Amino acid sequence: MKLLNLKTDLPYLARKSKDVNEFLEHWNITREKLNILKNNTFYKFKYLCSNIIDEMDKTNKIEFYEFHTN
């Protein structure tokens, strides 16, 4: 979760969202953007994008949202 806080806008997007469903849309869009970057960039950035995507997959989205909104 620390990596997501430091390397993404997800904490900001959680606070900005009206509800969990809106946040989940932001989450999916962010993940898709990272996946596109991973597939279309040099090897240096592929590693970073892969790490962030892996952390996104491990993190409970609803707990992440609640942590940043409460």
Q: Helix, strand, coil proportions of the chain in percent (round to 5)?
A: 85, 0, 15
Q: Please give the model's pTM, rounded to 2 decimal places.
A: 0.86
- What span, in angstroms and rounded, lies between the C-alpha atoms of 41 and 58? 23
Q: Look up residue 3 and give its amino acid.
A: L
pLDDT tens, position by position, 2-53:
888 888 899 999 999 999 999 999 999 999 999 998 998 877 788 889 999 9
How many CB atoms are located within 10 Å of the residue 39 CB? Answer: 9
